[in-house]
Amino acid sequence: MELDILAGAEEFSFDGGPVGALLIHGFTGSPQGLRGLGEYLTERGIAVEGIRLPGHGTTWQDLNTRRSSEWVGAVEEGHAKLAEGRDKVFLVSLSFGSALALDFAAHHPDRVAGLVSLAGMVLVKDPRRFVSGIIARLTPSIPGVGNDIAEPGGREIVYERFPTSAGHQMLRFIKTARRALPQVSCPLLVMHSHNDHTVHPDNALEIHRRAASTDKRLVWVDDSYHVITLDVDRQRVFESTYEFIRDRS
């Protein structure tokens, strides 16, 4: 049965020129977290595809039925759609979306002109990670971790519950993405906040240090928390992302 998409969580596609940006949202989130950035980029001539990962933007129960291979497939399909007739495609990713983006870049170096990791996640420090499979068998969900935003009134469309079976899939996949970092060779921009309460700032250091890219930069945006595309520093995030793409196009 086809599930309804939450209002505002729909995927989006904006026409532009010969350069494209594939936007990949995070775990339990939705394309809404990247829509503002997508609009900013397309206003400056960049074609944008904001995909919705399977199981997202519907219900946490739906997400709990999904496997990481489906999320990988969604990235591959989104890239193929955007790349048709275009000279270059960049990946712009938020949170867990960066694990998917980095894995794609590692396996398809000739298809990625550059990668922007926003509050990217390739490691988790929560001790529950060691027993995530057991937790998934004991309970279908635990309290969610969304809306880590410093700006008053800031709102992310995100599930209030964290689906444990899908969470186990996610945790296994970020190990795969972390192992793939030495195979990432494309230009790389890493942006993160030291005040991120959801994804530890050490993730930014790990991505920046272990990626094989020679053109790479690490930027801190410390007036924000986790969802830096919707938070106090969002204008700086938008501008830096655009400049990164523009200068490598």
Backbone angles phi, psi at 119, to 5 degrees: 50, 45
For the stretch 179-199, what's the b/e string if a residue is b when 16 or more beta carbons lie within 10 angstroms of its beta carbon?
ebbeebbbbbbbbbbebbebb
213 is catalytic: no
* Among 95, 98, 165, 224, the one annotated catalytic: 95
191: enclosing H helix or E strand: strand 188-192
Backbone angles phi, psi at 136, to 5 degrees: -60, -30
For the question of residue 226 being annotated catalytic, the response is yes
* Token digits of residue 131: 């027993």
Active-site residue among 30, 56, 226, 233? 226
Of 103, 148, 196, 231, which residue is the catalytic one?
A: 196
124 Cβ contact list (under 8 Å, min separation 6): 171, 174, 200
Measure the CA–CA gap between 193 and 216, rounded to whole angstroms.
17
* Contact assessment for residue 118 and residue 92, using Cβ atoms and an 8 Å cutoff: yes
Side chain identity, residue 180: A
CA angle 51, 217, 81 (to 5 degrees): 20
- Of 125, 108, 105, whose CA–CA distance to 210 is shortest? 105
247 counts as catalytic: no
With beta carbons less than 8 A apart as the criterion, state whether 198 and 55 touch: no
Q: Which residues are catalytic?
A: 95, 196, 226
